[in-house]
A and B are shown apart, each in its own frame.
Chain A
Amino acid sequence: MTASPILDVRHVSKRFDGLLANDDVSVSVARGELLGLIGPNGAGKSTLFNMIAGAFPVTSGEIWLDGTDITAVAGTRRCAHGIARTFQVPRSFDTMSVLENVMVGSFMRTASASTARIRALETLEYVGIAGRAQAPAVDLTPPEKRRLEMARALATEPKLLLLDEVMTGLTPAEAKAGVDLIRRVRERGVTIIMVEHVMEIVMPLVDRAVVLHLGKVLAEGKPSEVVRDERVIKAYLGDRHRAA
């Protein structure tokens, strides 16, 4: 791991109406790393994810991006700092075409419509839905919508990409194609944090996994170590018991 992490989450807590959703969470992500953020339902993954993305503020603690304290930076401005995200339930701009959707992302780095168009087309090519560029976003299939979300986020040229359960609900073939895409994005040098509920999907893909449980960091390390961790197994088993 390099000396200066690209993302440094320091002692972050979040309280919702008395409920402590995140309790003194510290996570640091190295440049170029692919980190899996996992945990059973209600572990506080989404809370942490949304605080990094800036969707809502922290109660206490600090978030540093590439040597800058971005704790107080509003959600809209975090994109300019280099953070991009996808949504668990894809949120496409439904009155716009696929290309136009991605252009909104490109406009983060350019004010010129023609430049934005060229970059958006390149990004669509890259994620593999260039053929659908002129289609209305509302007509895309669910896996295509996931790719559109990814293209839009990549078009903002992020340093850090936050992926919120991008594999959920995909068929095995679609998931495999998704994994390939994430690998390629990562090879471009983009640091990635993936939030996933289902361990089986993320473990083969990520460099390192952080397991949250009841709002705290339960374990972190190589995927192979984490899956053997007694506490992690117990947490997930408990979750399954509750679900059953």
Chain B
Amino acid sequence: MTAQAFFQVLASGLLMGLLYALIAVGLSLIFGLMDVVNFAHGEFLMVAMYATFGLWAIVGVDPVLLMPLVIAFMFVFGAAVYLGVVRFAMRAKTNSGMVQIFATFGLAILIQGVSQLLFSPDYRSIPASWLGGRTVSIGGVFLPLPQVYGGLISVLAFAGLYLLMSRTDFGKALEATREDQGAVALVGIDRNKVFALGWGLGAALVGLAGSVLAIFYYIHPQVGGPFALVAYVVVALGGFGSVFGALAAGLIVGVVESFAAIAMPPAMKSIPVYLLYLGVVFIRPSGLFGRL
């Protein structure tokens, strides 16, 4: 492999990795906050993609400009899912883990059904975007513009998340709720409110990823599944609940997958990623940056 080809593969892997991290971080955030794994996370991504597509079809404005609307919608959507579904799943005294898995799994199928009803099972795409089909060349490495845009958005989102977690009252409330749920009630933070905002934030983050992905990826009711699986692996690899573990793990997964795709039949490119996950947790049972 020439040095140039190496950098080409590395760069596209890193860009995809940033996007994977952005898809996964909402899942990790919600888990860290309240120990719930959202099995509808892939469908959240799908909803964001359809929201972008739908707005684009109605308003006719470039998807890049629609992004704020999409994340606002997703924020409300995420908070509504918490208040309407997850809140009740947490009430189970025994076996609450399974209840959460299957309540959110039922929700995932429901969302797929609704998308199929509204948009049909057909594959959709947004053909005309400023970014679509264009590439930039940096030192002889060619990168598709939508992916570069996605990478930048992801870096900005993580920077924003860092500021949010460290500088704002909401961030501190999130942190406090993560540390000790009992103490929160004593301090007088409304747990439900923090959780609803947390779900809103988690959904907004995956919504951000969806608004980017809609520019260069086919949109259909089943699009979320494969991405959700990558997100679970990323979150577990980084360590459940660790926001920056998700970033590191996303980048690792992106790069491994990118190199795997040229070393073996592309259909098998996920195998090294899965093996990496297994290898890591067999040595470190709580992921790279997780607490047990």
Chain A residues within 8 Å of B, Cβ to Cβ: 94-95, 138
Binary CB contact string for chain B from 73 to 109 against chain A (1 if under 8 A, 0 otherwise): 0000000000000000000011100000000000000
Shortest beta-carbon distance from A241 to chain B in Å: 25
Instruction: Please give, as numbers and ranges, the residues of chain B lying within 8 Å of A94 by CB-CB distance.
Output: 94
Segment 5-23 of B: residues with Cβ below 8 Å from A: none
Which A residue sits closest to B95, measured CB to CB?
A: A95
Which A residue sits closest to B93, measured CB to CB?
A: A138
Instruction: Please give, as numbers and ranges, the residues of chain B lying within 8 Å of A95 by CB-CB distance.
Output: 94-95
Chain B residues within 8 Å of A, Cβ to Cβ: 93-95
Shortest beta-carbon distance from B144 to chain A in Å: 47
Could you tell me the distance between the alpha carbons of A95 and B93 in the complex, rounded to whole angstroms?
A: 10
Instruction: Please give, as numbers and ranges, the residues of chain B lying within 8 Å of A138 by CB-CB distance.
Output: 93-94
Could you tell me the distance between the alpha carbons of A131 and B93 in the complex, rounded to whole angstroms?
A: 24
Majority SS at the chain A contact face = loop
Could you tell me the distance between the alpha carbons of A95 and B95 in the complex, rounded to whole angstroms?
A: 9
Could you tell me the distance between the alpha carbons of A234 and B93 in the complex, rounded to whole angstroms?
A: 46
Which B residue sits closest to A94, measured CB to CB?
A: B94
Could you tell me the distance between the alpha carbons of A95 and B94 in the complex, rounded to whole angstroms?
A: 8
Shortest beta-carbon distance from A97 to chain B in Å: 14
Which B residue sits closest to A95, measured CB to CB?
A: B94
Could you tell me the distance between the alpha carbons of A138 and B94 in the complex, rounded to whole angstroms?
A: 10
**5 A-B interface contacts by CB (under 8 A):** A94-B94, A95-B94, A95-B95, A138-B93, A138-B94
Shortest beta-carbon distance from A145 to chain B in Å: 16
Could you tell me the distance between the alpha carbons of A138 and B93 in the complex, rounded to whole angstroms?
A: 10
Instruction: Please give, as numbers and ranges, the residues of chain A lying within 8 Å of B94 by CB-CB distance.
Output: 94-95, 138
Instruction: Please give, as numbers and ranges, the residues of chain A lying within 8 Å of B95 by CB-CB distance.
Output: 95
Could you tell me the distance between the alpha carbons of A94 and B96 in the complex, rounded to whole angstroms?
A: 13
List 5 A-B pairs, minimum CB-CB distance, nearest first: A95-B94, A94-B94, A138-B94, A138-B93, A95-B95
Could you tell me the distance between the alpha carbons of A138 and B232 in the complex, rounded to whole angstroms?
A: 32
Could you tell me the distance between the alpha carbons of A159 and B94 in the complex, rounded to whole angstroms?
A: 35
Shortest beta-carbon distance from B209 to chain A in Å: 38
Could you tell me the distance between the alpha carbons of A103 and B78 in the complex, rounded to whole angstroms?
A: 46
Could you tell me the distance between the alpha carbons of A95 and B92 in the complex, rounded to whole angstroms?
A: 13
Which A residue sits closest to B94, measured CB to CB?
A: A95
Could you tell me the distance between the alpha carbons of A72 and B282 in the complex, rounded to whole angstroms?
A: 23
Shortest beta-carbon distance from B91 to chain A in Å: 15
Could you tell me the distance between the alpha carbons of A94 and B94 in the complex, rounded to whole angstroms?
A: 8
Could you tell me the distance between the alpha carbons of A219 and B94 in the complex, rounded to whole angstroms?
A: 46
Instruction: Please give, as numbers and ranges, the residues of chain A lying within 8 Å of B93 by CB-CB distance.
Output: 138
Shortest beta-carbon distance from B240 to chain A in Å: 22
Shortest beta-carbon distance from A154 to chain B in Å: 27
Shortest beta-carbon distance from B292 to chain A in Å: 14
Could you tell me the distance between the alpha carbons of A94 and B93 in the complex, rounded to whole angstroms?
A: 10
